[in-house]
Amino acid sequence: MKTNGQQLSPLVEPNRPYRLTGKVAIITGAANGIGRAMATLFSQERACIVVADIDQPNGQAAVEEIKRLGTSAIYVETDIAKPSDAQRMVEATMNHFGRLDILVNNASVGLNRPFLDTTLEDWQHTLDIGLTGTFLCAQAAARCMVQQKFGAIINIASISGQRGAQGRTAYGVAKAGVIQLTKVMAVELAALGVRVNAISPGPVDTNQSRSTHTSATRQSYHERIPLGRYGDRDEIAAAALFLASDEARFIHGHILNVDGGYHAAGLMFEDRVADHAELGPSTIAESGLSMHKPEKANCSTKARKRVVS
């Protein structure tokens, strides 16, 4: 396949059923939660994984889990808010694997605190990790990728960076900054061979959300998300996999909302399954509930009548 005279690999190669074969991916915050789900999924698609996290015990455990899947992985202890750590993370990757194809800037910190109660320390800590850390890791990785003339960077933003919400002063601003950073990076790095996109998750079922989201928060989300539930971390990982793969090679500077329709929603007043849904995506199916039950479709060509104008 050729585009503008350039030879491109086909979307599906007969002898390469895996989507990330031979690629090396750094995933920050991969010791737990969404980042760990990404590391597992990427490794299943035959990427080599760099688990970059400040949590050494769980980071090492993630590496062992990946190795059991038959893929190479290393752990690099990384405080993404420190420039030296971001640089060391990339250097360790190049020293071990000799290349860097993918960076997923997943590491962040949550904060749910009203504007009037947010301290300068709260503000600085949240932005240091959620925004400055993303900048530092992206810059270190991009400098390497530019030398290679290829690479993909995926920044994890949040729907809180696009919509105002109670208690999201520092966190929302950090994620809004990540979104704008993604767009600027995309403009500047395109000609240098580096693709840049972002994912904006809605509420996701993780240990962090289980500990910080009150019952009132959960009810509010269930009422405002058209799909009527929290997302699953594997669903965010699947979106990252797509953006990291060659299938997304013409997607650049995009902010992908993975939020069950939350950002799109306006007035909703019908009774919905969300009133009964739990966090996990399988709950509705297991309970037998459905948002709607369409009649069985007849897709046979014999059943369709040709309309002649």
Say yes or no to pLDDT of 277 above 50. Answer: no
Q: Find the farthest-apart pair of alpha carbons in the chain and give their distance in angstroms, rounded.
A: 70
Is the model more confident about 155 or about 266? 155
Domain boundaries, the chain: 17-303
Tokens of 298: 């007849």
Residue 220's pLDDT band, with cuts at 50, 70 and 90, is: confident
The domain defined by 17-303 folds into: Rossmann fold (3.40.50)
Residue 279's pLDDT band, with cuts at 50, 70 and 90, is: very low
Residue 16's pLDDT is what? 52
> Per-residue pLDDT averaged across 185-197, rounded?
98
CB neighbourhood size of 197 (10 A):
24
The mean-pLDDT minimum among 61-65, 198-202, 234-238, 267-271 falls in 267-271
- Tokens 């990339």, located at residue: 90
Say yes or no to pLDDT of 273 above 60. Answer: no
- For the chain, the DSSP string reads -EETTEE---SSBTTB-SSSTT-EEEEETTTSHHHHHHHHHHHHTT-EEEEEES-HHHHHHHHHHHHHTT--EEEEE--TTSHHHHHHHHHHHHHHHS---EEEE-------B-GGG--HHHHHHHHIIIIIHHHHHHHHHHHHHHHHT-EEEEEE--GGGTS--TTBHHHHHHHHHHHHHHHHHHHHHGGGTEEEEEEEE-SEESHHHHHH--HHHHHHHHHH-TT-S-EEHHHHHHHHHHHHSGGGTT--S-EEEESTTTTT-----S--GGGT--SSTTHHHHHT--S--PPPP---GGGPPPP--
Residue 111's pLDDT is what? 77
Say yes or no to pLDDT of 11 above 90. Answer: no
Say yes or no to pLDDT of 309 above 80. Answer: no
Say yes or no to pLDDT of 165 above 80. Answer: no
Q: How far apart are CA 52 and CA 30, in angstroms?
A: 6
> Per-residue pLDDT averaged across 5-12, rounded?
41
> Per-residue pLDDT averaged across 240-265, rounded?
95
Residue 270's pLDDT is what? 66
* pTM of the model as a whole: 0.82
Say yes or no to pLDDT of 197 above 50. Answer: yes
Is the model more confident about 268 or about 48? 48
Say yes or no to pLDDT of 243 above 60. Answer: yes
> Per-residue pLDDT averaged across 113-128, rounded?
90
List C-alpha distances in Å: 107 to 162, 173, 293. Answer: 19, 16, 40
Is the model more confident about 121 or about 211? 121
Are 23 and 101 in contact, with CB atoms under 8 Å apart?
Answer: yes
Q: Which of 75, 171, 221, 230 is catalytic?
A: 171
Our answer to whether residue 171 is catalytic in this structure is yes
- CA 35, 93, 199, 129 dihedral sign is positive
Q: How far apart are CA 164 and CA 181, in angstroms?
A: 19
Residue 179's pLDDT is what? 97
Say yes or no to pLDDT of 219 above 60. Answer: yes
| pLDDT tens readout for residues 67-115 | 999 999 999 999 999 999 999 999 999 999 999 999 999 998 887 788 8
Spatial CB neighbours of 51, under 8 Å, sequence gap ≥ 6: 27, 30, 31, 39, 59, 62, 63, 66, 73, 74, 75, 76
